[in-house]
Amino acid sequence: MGAIQLSYSTFGLTNLDFLDALDAVDRAGYDGVEISFHRRQFNPFNIDDAYLAQVRKRLGTLRVVPACVATASHFFSPSRPHEPSLMALEPAGRKRRMDLIRRGIHVARQLGVPLVTFGSGFIRDEHVANRGVNPGELLVDSIRECLREIHDDEDITLLIEPEPGMYIETLAQGQALLDAVGSPKFQLHVDLCHAYCSEPDYISALAQAAPHARYLHISDAREGYNLKIVQDADNLAIDLDFASVLVHFPDTADYLLLDRTHPTLFRDAPVTPARQARIDALLTHAQVHTPLTVVDYASLYAGTSPLDDEIFTYLISVPGLSYDVLERAKPVIGYLRGARRPPLVDKMVANTLTGIVHFHEIPGEGTLDFAASFKALTDHGFSGYGSVELYHHVQSWEKALTDSYQHLAPFAATPANHQAAW
C-alpha cells in the first residue's frame, strides 16, 4: 500500500515573495512544496543560478521538501493560458513551450527536484482549419524533444497532467500518451479535481491510473451548469441531458442558447428568414419547447464583475474556437450568471465531461470524496506528494493554506502532530 504526503503549490501564494512562500508552506505543516513558475514571483527568464542557490539554501533550513517544478500554463500570456502549446502548428510556438519546460528541468536540476510537470494544451481554431496536421504527433515529438534535455544519470521525470477540455483530458488519454512516447522518464500527473471533472467514475479511474502516477494535484470541486460552445454546422450533436449548447453563427457572430428552460438568441440585428428557419430547426432538433427569448447583444453588460474569474476559467477550457469567438461569448455567460441582473443560472458554468466545474475549491468546500480518492490511489500503488493547488484563492491564501491542511491531514501520511503556526 502506498502513501500520500501533503504538499502546497506556490501558485496559490503568488502575492508573497517566493522565499516567504516557502516559509509559509513549511509553517503550515506540509511535507512538500510545489515550485511553480510565475511571471512576477518565480520567473525562469529572470532568475539565475545565484538566486536558485539562495532558494536551495532556504530550503535547507526548512523541513518542507521541494516536490515538483510546475511550468505554469499561464506563463507566456495570462489572457491566453496554455498558449503556445506543445501542439502549436508554428514551430516557433512549440519551441517557446519546449524552452519553458527545459527551464523547468534546469530548475529541478539545481534544486534537486525529481519531477517537472506540464499539460498538453488545447485543440485550437488553427488545428480545426488544418485537419491534415496530427496534433498528437506534434505533442509526442515535442515531449521527446524535451526529454533529450534530461541526462541519462539524472533522476528527473517529466509528467503530463490531463486537464478538462485539453487534448489530453482523461486519465486514459494520459496513459495512452505515455505508451506513445515510450520513455520511463515520462509519467502521469493526476489532478483529483480534473479527474472529478472528466471521469464518470473518478474513483475507479484513479485506481487504474495509480500505477502510472508519480504526482498529484489536490483541490475540491462541485457540480455546475454544463455548457458547450460550438460553431453552427450540419449534424450538430446535441444532448441537453448532458449539456446546454451555445451555438455560434460565424457569419453574424450571434449566439443561440439551446436550453430547455432558457432558450435565448443573442443578436445584433433582426434575423433573416433563412436564419430564423435554422434557429427553429435547431430548437426542434434539441427538443426545446419553451418560447425563445431574444436579447440585443449590445444591451449585454461587458464590464468587470465578481464573476470574471469563474467565466475566464470556463472560457479558456473551450477548445476548437478562436479567442475572438470566446471573448465575444463572455457577456453572454455573464448574462446567464447574473453579472448585472438576477442570474438565469444559479450554478457556476462548466465545460467538462461530467458537469463538475473546473474551478479549484478549498478541500472540504466542494463535493469531492478525498477519503475514497486517496484510498483508491494508495491501495493501487501510488506513493508520493499531493500538492494542493489553489490559484483561485490567492487573495485568501492564509485560509486556503490552513483549511486545506486541516481537511486533508486525516487522509494522508502527513504526521498528525504537524501543527500550523499561524
CA dihedral sign of residues 246, 125, 224, 79: negative
253 within a domain of the structure (yes/no): yes
Same domain, 76 and 210: yes
Specify the number of domains making up the chain: 2
d(CA 319, CA 361): 23
The per-residue pLDDT for 420 is 42
Structural domain of 254: 225-350
pLDDT band at 421 (very low <50, low <70, confident <90, very high): very low
The per-residue pLDDT for 79 is 80
Write the pLDDT tens digit of every residue in 54-92.
999 999 999 999 999 999 877 788 788 899 999 999 999
334 within a domain of the structure (yes/no): yes
Q: Which one has a higher pLDDT value, 375 or 80? A: 375
The per-residue pLDDT for 76 is 87
Out of 350, 371, 403, pick the residue that ends a domain: 350
Query: Strand 254-258 vs strand 264-267: parallel, antiparallel, or unpaired?
Result: antiparallel
Out of 320, 350, 380, pick the residue that ends a domain: 350
Q: Which one has a higher pLDDT value, 81 or 288? A: 288
CA dihedral sign of residues 70, 378, 365, 349: positive
327-354 burial by CB neighbour count: b if 16+ within 10 A, else e? ebbbbbbbbbbbbeeeebbeebbbbbbb
CA dihedral sign of residues 402, 404, 407, 408: negative
pTM: 0.94
Out of 350, 368, 390, pick the residue that ends a domain: 350
| Averaged pLDDT, 384-413 | 95
Write the pLDDT tens digit of every residue in 139-186.
999 999 999 999 999 999 999 999 999 999 999 999 999 999 999 999
150 burial level (CB within 10 Å; 0-12, 13-18, 19+):
buried
The per-residue pLDDT for 418 is 44
420 within a domain of the structure (yes/no): no
Same domain, 16 and 118: yes
d(CA 128, CA 113): 38
Same domain, 116 and 83: yes
pLDDT band at 414 (very low <50, low <70, confident <90, very high): low
pLDDT band at 386 (very low <50, low <70, confident <90, very high): very high
**Residue spans of alpha helices (H) in 164-256:** 171-181, 192-198, 202-209
